[in-house]
Chains A and B, each alone.
Chain A
């Protein structure tokens, strides 16, 4: 349990206060919950930071402040449907009222609600590190261990076609697999959160023809680090779901777009 709480007024104040023994506190559903792995002497609350909770449309892009809650996303007219669908994977309305998009990304959970879809659409993160403001692809961000940067915003494309699927014991349980597929001009990008394993991404080119058998066979044999039997399911089950779901999502995209992969 933290000893001190700092209520940052803005992002600059928050990043100034970020030392090794401090942690950012967004919606609280991760850091303040039972079993949280976040250990910090000081918590820097972002709740009252100005400018982190707006949603703006800019052409084909939508900029979402990192402190926007899941429910903000669900209710916004500007947020694309695919992201709303992923936000609704968090089944508890009360929790959606609290959990933030920035917090969910920064937690880098292997059962993340949003990372698969954000990775699949190559979301761009606006980061603040010291005085430095930068933009970074989320796929790069999640593989880094730098916790000193502050996510201030997320930019996602509006018109991309996306299909997602989540598997969990109950709606409130942690997911064993959450997968999203996004169709781009060049390929279909798959991103998947595998519980206790991590986030995996794949680019499927449009040169070949995907079959169910091929998809299942691919994931049956694909080398996945740290995938193990656990209380969420056997390795066989997880690999099978990966294959079948990859096929299904691609099929769904094909049906929607008329394209082939």
Chain B
């Protein structure tokens, strides 16, 4: 018997003393003690206070804790009674995807109980065991200041964030994110919190080979284990070819995936799924499945994939839904036609050529680059290589599904609930009305949850067995079997005049999509479409080719291909400026686009179709550059006290988009409830970024209703209307604008109903804060309560409900500039990012504090991509650092000491209340800013990610 005092209450447990303390706490209902690293002792989601000391509960055996006092995050306040610490974390804006927010609240509580006046170093120390990917760490320091102020004087004195649009009451104001109380207090929020006690567990048998046929599979021993419900293989599941990309439908990606495979195409590919009563039984059964493989040669790089005669990743047959070439039959005769290969189905032509491992391609440009290079005073040409990077969301991919009255209920941690429903419909054959997808809160997405990577198989398992099924990726599976950032080889040729004018730009991008083509075109396309339009240049050309290989799969990742394209272009511009003897800033100023410049280059850069040629809209780029240069003292040479350390500065201009005009679509429904409060049913998928809060804020300002009288229900395919989802920076612009339309429609209905009830002209009606309609003619007024009460009486005209639908051809492009000051040790190669300034034009920042945190989070993440993160594969394609420690994510120790995020105030014409996107663009600047700064410091160009000390030493000729 193990006796514990948990949160002040004595508890006894008759359990195996070798189980982990966390497992015991889960049995006790302390589910906010979470797990992000499978007991690696890294992420800190499992932090508890044991006998007064913070520990990782996954590294403590239950028996070791016997007699101990345990404190868990749920011992703090709840969502209606928050503690000062919890409230400060919310107010500072750090409670975003929030998987680790309860642990952060616990650690801060412990810290302030020990020391009510902690220093910055104390805060850094206590957070050193906590991995934060979404918001970075900077505003945790702010939260600590807020706590101190609250404890000492009862009021905050420090400004949390600048506010915008003084004429509005909610938009642009610092206000708590509406889901933050639930998240910070550790209430039920994530998929794992909604699992029923009778669930079955699913595990997946994965391929040990990078390329092989599954020639024989024997599941009899596995099925013989009592408790095993079913073993699914390619031989007993539907033969449906689809793809995992959750984007518009049809989305350009080739359909080349199946539930389970007869040919495996990467180490970690799905071979079989086991559903069992317990996780232990499922794992035991998985180990008993006997598989005979026929291993084949594999390719791991674009260089290998493009070699004539290279092994083919897909060697079945090609089909087209539309636009099939005339010679398709002849083409297919050249492929093996082996049934185990399956097929590749293009929705429309993408210039794919699987006979040469080409998944898709695109070529285009404007002007004459050859002539431009001839006319240039200098031309530079270089190749920049980016690495394979994992998203590492704290909440690994998870899905829980069950049957209710013949319907599949799917709890998903997803960015795209409607696409989950569509793909589950495809693999089960159920119509979409028979599938209910419930997007829970999402513990980190960053693009990885734009792919449907676990929901298809989990939902099918429930459909096939009739049993509730839980599937949860291990951390290793996140690396080997999910999606990753496409490794890209970006070749840039750039010519310029002595005065700094860029005459021509050529980009050749070769992208590695891995074994499957999800987002194959769209992600790499962004390396050109979200970079070339930064330049006021008449001669630009691009050649883009995406190759299949046998690496772990690539897919969507925050920024798509833009960080890679930006790295290549801005580094090349740095090299050109250096060669011409022109100051980099002068070159930027001379060549960047301004409002009204017609972006002809976009014509060929649509996502699988012709792009819209539009002029540059609202643009804060110049202001970001000028302000950033002032902040970092551009042009001033910094000297270190230590001669080994050389200091340099660099920056990069950046852009992104705000959704996909002409492709994306969002809907919302606004309802006036019986007491005058408002419920908005939105199709949006808030993944922790504050999208629900944005919807509430725009509704608040349009309807003149206080925030606490508005509830947003989103991400539920039964209650909301269709929304393409949260990707491509579309949330604020598309889902926010759909809420604007719905709120404006409801406003019209409320005014009309008030006029009817007051027997006045609707033209004389106006909304008045809070929740009233007043006649400008008579002064008569009605509260929303009065209006809806009468409208829904037996003689009324009925419930006031208004839909809103949003599509557009307009583009709202966020711009910015990111600056870095680095110190490079020319004897050891070490690199320190001393300063990092992110300046961005987000239009009207609707949630300013959350916006800043997203800029910090994405910038730190990108510093990680630039300097530390890299999935390393051995010669057989096996990822050898598929864990957090060896992979190398940045944490608080890696954060620059001087880290600033600045919002450039630009009011956009098309965004909701002038807003544009904020988060994704913040991934784009770090690599070129740091790369240029390294050159400025020590004179070497590091042309590949990650930029490591070893590469510095090699470039300096030291090794």
Which residues of A are interface residues toward B (Cβ below 8 A)?
1-5, 7, 25, 27-29, 32-35, 43, 45, 47, 91-95, 97-98, 167, 169-174, 231, 233-234, 236-237, 240-241, 244-245, 248
Q: Please, could you name 25 A-B residue pairs with CB atoms under 8 Å apart, sorted by A?
A: A5-B17, A7-B66, A28-B60, A28-B61, A28-B64, A29-B59, A34-B40, A91-B891, A92-B129, A93-B126, A93-B128, A94-B41, A94-B54, A94-B55, A94-B129, A95-B56, A98-B55, A167-B828, A167-B949, A169-B868, A170-B888, A172-B891, A231-B872, A237-B959, A240-B958
B324 interfacial contact with A, CB 8 Å: no
Contact between chains at B18 and A3 (CB < 8 Å): yes
Apart from A33-B41, A97-B53, A97-B55: 11 A-B pairs, beta carbons within 8 A: A28-B59, A28-B60, A29-B41, A34-B475, A92-B128, A167-B830, A167-B949, A172-B884, A236-B959, A237-B950, A248-B827
A127 to chain B, nearest CB (A): 23
Q: Which of A32, A240, A248 contacts B60 (CB 8 A)?
A: A32
Contact between chains at B891 and A94 (CB < 8 Å): no
Q: Which residues of B contact A174 (CB under 8 A)?
A: 885-886
Q: Which residues of B contact A34 (CB under 8 A)?
A: 37-41, 475, 883
B220 interfacial contact with A, CB 8 Å: no
How far does the alpha carbon of A27 sit from the alpha carbon of B50 in the complex, in Å? Answer: 13
Contact between chains at A93 and B18 (CB < 8 Å): no
How far does the alpha carbon of A95 sit from the alpha carbon of B953 in the complex, in Å? Answer: 32
Contact between chains at A170 and B889 (CB < 8 Å): yes
Q: A4-B18, A98-B56 are in contact. Are A231 and B881 (CB under 8 A)?
A: yes
B125 interfacial contact with A, CB 8 Å: yes
Q: Which residues of B contact A234 (CB under 8 A)?
A: 950, 959
How far does the alpha carbon of A173 sit from the alpha carbon of B20 in the complex, in Å? Answer: 24
Q: A5-B61, A98-B56, A174-B885 are in contact. Are A244 and B891 (CB under 8 A)?
A: no
Q: A5-B18, A92-B128, A97-B54 are in contact. Are A173 and B63 (CB under 8 A)?
A: no
Contact between chains at B828 and A244 (CB < 8 Å): yes
Q: Which of B125, B884, B949 contacts A93 (CB 8 A)?
A: B125
Contact between chains at A94 and B47 (CB < 8 Å): yes
How far does the alpha carbon of A98 sit from the alpha carbon of B20 in the complex, in Å? Answer: 15
Contact between chains at B886 and A240 (CB < 8 Å): no
B535 to chain A, nearest CB (A): 34
* Nearest residue, chain A, Cβ from B890: A170
How far does the alpha carbon of A29 sit from the alpha carbon of B886 in the complex, in Å? Answer: 16
Q: Which of B881, B891, B948, B959 contacts A171 (CB 8 A)?
A: B891
Q: Which residues of A contact B59 (CB under 8 A)?
A: 27-29, 32-33, 98
Most central of A1, A43, A95 by chain B CB within 10 Å: A95
* Nearest residue, chain B, Cβ from A71: B53
Q: Indicate with 1 or 0, residue by residue over B29-73, a CB within 8 angstroms of chain A CB atoms.
A: 000000001111110100100000111101111011010000000
How far does the alpha carbon of A2 sit from the alpha carbon of B828 in the complex, in Å? Answer: 43
B894 interfacial contact with A, CB 8 Å: yes
Q: List CB contacts (< 8 Å) of B789-828 with chain A.
A: 827-828
Contact between chains at A172 and B18 (CB < 8 Å): no
Q: Which residues of A contact B880 (CB under 8 A)?
A: 231
Q: Indicate with 1 or 0, residue by residue over B336-359, a CB within 8 angstroms of chain A CB atoms.
A: 000000000000000000000000
A26 to chain B, nearest CB (A): 11
How far does the alpha carbon of A50 sit from the alpha carbon of B56 in the complex, in Å? Answer: 23
B433 interfacial contact with A, CB 8 Å: no
Chain B interface residue count, Cβ-Cβ cutoff 8 angstroms: 51
How far does the alpha carbon of A3 sit from the alpha carbon of B54 in the complex, in Å? Answer: 26
B893 interfacial contact with A, CB 8 Å: yes
Q: A5-B18, A97-B54, A170-B889 are in contact. Are A45 and B872 (CB under 8 A)?
A: no
Q: List CB contacts (< 8 Å) of B106-155 with chain A.
A: 125-126, 128-130
Contact between chains at B893 and A35 (CB < 8 Å): no
* Nearest residue, chain A, Cβ from B65: A47
How far does the alpha carbon of A236 sit from the alpha carbon of B41 in the complex, in Å? Answer: 31
How far does the alpha carbon of A240 sit from the alpha carbon of B885 in the complex, in Å? Answer: 24
**CB-CB nearest 7 A-B residue pairs:** A94-B129, A171-B893, A92-B129, A5-B63, A34-B40, A28-B59, A169-B888
B474 to chain A, nearest CB (A): 9
Contact between chains at B61 and A33 (CB < 8 Å): no
Q: Which residues of A contact B885 (CB under 8 A)?
A: 172-174
A111 to chain B, nearest CB (A): 10
Q: A167-B949, A237-B959 are in contact. Are A94 and B56 (CB under 8 A)?
A: yes
Contact between chains at B894 and A170 (CB < 8 Å): yes
How far does the alpha carbon of A236 sit from the alpha carbon of B950 in the complex, in Å? Answer: 9
Q: Which residues of B contact A32 (CB under 8 A)?
A: 20, 39, 58-61
Q: A95-B129, A170-B889, A240-B959 are in contact. Are A43 and B41 (CB under 8 A)?
A: no
A92 to chain B, nearest CB (A): 4
Contact between chains at A240 and B953 (CB < 8 Å): yes
* Nearest residue, chain B, Cβ from A32: B59
How far does the alpha carbon of A170 sit from the alpha carbon of B40 in the complex, in Å? Answer: 16
Q: Which of A172, A233, A241 contacts B828 (CB 8 A)?
A: A241
Contact between chains at B18 and A1 (CB < 8 Å): yes
* Nearest residue, chain B, Cβ from A239: B959
A123 to chain B, nearest CB (A): 25
Q: Which residues of A contact B40 (CB under 8 A)?
A: 33-35
How far does the alpha carbon of A214 sit from the alpha carbon of B273 in the complex, in Å? Answer: 59
How far does the alpha carbon of A1 sit from the alpha carbon of B17 in the complex, in Å? Answer: 12
Q: Which residues of B contact A167 (CB under 8 A)?
A: 828, 830, 949
Q: Which residues of B contact A241 (CB under 8 A)?
A: 828
Q: Which residues of A contact B130 (CB under 8 A)?
A: 94
Q: A4-B18, A5-B18, A174-B886 are in contact. Are A45 and B47 (CB under 8 A)?
A: no
Contact between chains at B61 and A94 (CB < 8 Å): no
Q: List CB contacts (< 8 Å) of B460-498 with chain A.
A: 475
Contact between chains at B883 and A35 (CB < 8 Å): yes
A170 to chain B, nearest CB (A): 5
Q: Which residues of A contact B893 (CB under 8 A)?
A: 91, 170-172
Contact between chains at A170 and B886 (CB < 8 Å): no
Contact between chains at B18 and A2 (CB < 8 Å): yes
Q: Which residues of B contact A231 (CB under 8 A)?
A: 872, 880-881, 886
Q: Which residues of A contact B64 (CB under 8 A)?
A: 5, 7, 25, 28, 45, 47
Q: Indicate with 1 or 0, residue by residue over B937-959, a CB within 8 angstroms of chain A CB atoms.
A: 00000000000111001000011
Q: List CB contacts (< 8 Å) of B687-745 with chain A.
A: none
Q: Which of A43, A172, A237, A248 contacts B61 (CB 8 A)?
A: A43
How far does the alpha carbon of A34 sit from the alpha carbon of B830 in the complex, in Å? Answer: 29
B122 to chain A, nearest CB (A): 10
B391 to chain A, nearest CB (A): 17
How far does the alpha carbon of A234 sit from the alpha carbon of B20 in the complex, in Å? Answer: 38
Contact between chains at A7 and B128 (CB < 8 Å): no
Q: Which residues of A contact B953 (CB under 8 A)?
A: 237, 240
* Nearest residue, chain B, Cβ from A236: B959
How far does the alpha carbon of A241 sit from the alpha carbon of B128 in the complex, in Å? Answer: 27
Q: A97-B54, A97-B55 are in contact. Are A45 and B61 (CB under 8 A)?
A: yes
How far does the alpha carbon of A244 sit from the alpha carbon of B827 in the complex, in Å? Answer: 8
Q: Which residues of A contact B55 (CB under 8 A)?
A: 94, 97-98
How far does the alpha carbon of A172 sit from the alpha carbon of B949 in the complex, in Å? Answer: 16
* Nearest residue, chain A, Cβ from B644: A248
How far does the alpha carbon of A4 sit from the alpha carbon of B38 in the complex, in Å? Answer: 21
How far does the alpha carbon of A2 sit from the alpha carbon of B830 in the complex, in Å? Answer: 41
How far does the alpha carbon of A66 sit from the alpha carbon of B950 in the complex, in Å? Answer: 36
How far does the alpha carbon of A171 sit from the alpha carbon of B125 in the complex, in Å? Answer: 12
How far does the alpha carbon of A168 sit from the alpha carbon of B948 in the complex, in Å? Answer: 11
B836 to chain A, nearest CB (A): 16
Q: Which residues of A contact B949 (CB under 8 A)?
A: 167, 237
Most central of A33, A169, A245 by chain B CB within 10 Å: A169
Contact between chains at A92 and B41 (CB < 8 Å): yes
How far does the alpha carbon of A206 sit from the alpha carbon of B218 in the complex, in Å? Answer: 69
A2 to chain B, nearest CB (A): 5
Contact between chains at B827 and A173 (CB < 8 Å): no
Contact between chains at A173 and B886 (CB < 8 Å): yes
How far does the alpha carbon of A47 sit from the alpha carbon of B890 in the complex, in Å? Answer: 32
Contact between chains at A91 and B886 (CB < 8 Å): no
* Nearest residue, chain A, Cβ from B54: A94
* Nearest residue, chain A, Cβ from B124: A93
How far does the alpha carbon of A35 sit from the alpha carbon of B38 in the complex, in Å? Answer: 10
